[in-house]
Structure 1
Amino acid sequence: MITTALRRQLARDDGALSLEAMILFPVLIMVLLLIVAFGRIQSSGNAVDTAARNAARAASLERDAGAARSAGTADARAGLRDQGLSCTAVSVDITTDGFNAPLGTPATTTATVRCTVRLSDIGLPGLPGAKTLTSSFTSSIDSYRQRD
């Protein structure tokens, strides 16, 4: 008698595991894709932060505004490339007002880096196709270094 009741119980559960798997697998895949998307955004944000920091530092080491813009822009683009970040659009802005300050006066230069990262290849429904990441960093210009 126990075996007959057990058989009936097992017969009623046929296919339940398959149904649960069909419901659970898409949810698990979406969660994994969401983790991949957040990971990509986080690592890309770190790369943009590093590029802005390096660009501001490179600009602050120059003697005039034109050279500062060139050095900062080149350093930011090289930093993004070295970090393996492929941006669909890159913008680097270097403020050079500090180069007009008289010697002995504290001055700074700021680099702002914008990078648009593609997310459409992840394939998660509802995820935007791209995200623009922005980072700024300010670096001091040597107050007593000669400026042109």
Structure 2
Amino acid sequence: MRIRAAGGRTGPPGPRRERGSFAVEAAVLVPVILGFALMAVAAGRLQTTGSVVDAAARAGARAASLARTPEGAQQAAADAVRTSLASRSVRCAAEPAGDPQYGTLDTDGGQLATVTVRVSCTVPLSDLLGLDGVPGHKTVTGTFTSVVDRYRGN
């Protein structure tokens, strides 16, 4: 038996009229959920890349602290930074390490010479997301200061 609904329509009674609503809800929600998932992946990859850049700055400062000359420190820092970034497959758009900066640290035992290495790496967002064709880039920076080794020899 058919029941006539208000307005003269006929159709099955009850919840059957909501047929197909799940497909519509899924079509609306799936892109939103995927967007949030991609944003979470990008944030995680950005955090990981920041950690790699920090580690490269540490490696560069330590290598520079062992060098005997400023020129040697610059070369040792650049090599250590490149090696550290390459080992984790981080590609920078430009040369990541600048010149090491020298300074002093006052302690109870006297002044200590320090060297600071700053690494700045501009990474394409397509590398962070793992998707080709994503426009844009993000610059990640890391800085580390190391005490110059007094006993490195002359």
Report if aligned partners of 1:88, 1:116 keep a CA contact under 8 Å in 2.
Answer: yes
Which TM-score applies when normalising by structure 1?
Answer: 0.81
Matched, 1:40 2:45: yes
Cα drift, residue 109 of structure 1: 0.3
Report if aligned partners of 2:81, 2:96 keep a CA contact under 8 Å in 1.
Answer: no
Pairing partner for 1:70 from 68, 72, 75: 75
Pairing partner for 2:64 from 38, 43, 59: 59
State how far apart, in whole Å, the 2-side matches of 1:44 and 1:37 are.
Answer: 10
Please tell me whether Structure 1 or Structure 2 has the larger radius of gyration of its CA atoms: 2
Report if aligned partners of 2:55, 2:84 keep a CA contact under 8 Å in 1.
Answer: yes
Structure 2 match to 1:141: 148
Large movers: runs of 4+ above 6 Å: none
Aligned length: 135
The unaligned stretches of length 5 or more in structure 2 are: 2-11, 105-109
| Percent identical residues | 41
SS at match of 2:98: strand
Pairing partner for 2:121 from 115, 123, 127: 115
The unaligned stretches of length 5 or more in structure 1 are: 2-6
How is 1:15-26 mapped onto 2 (pairs within 5 angstroms)? 15-26=20-31
Which TM-score applies when normalising by structure 2?
Answer: 0.78
Cα drift, residue 20 of structure 1: 0.6
1:91-119, CA deviations, whole angstroms, 9 ceiling, x for partnerless residues?
202324359xxxx8410000100111111
Larger relative helix fraction: 1
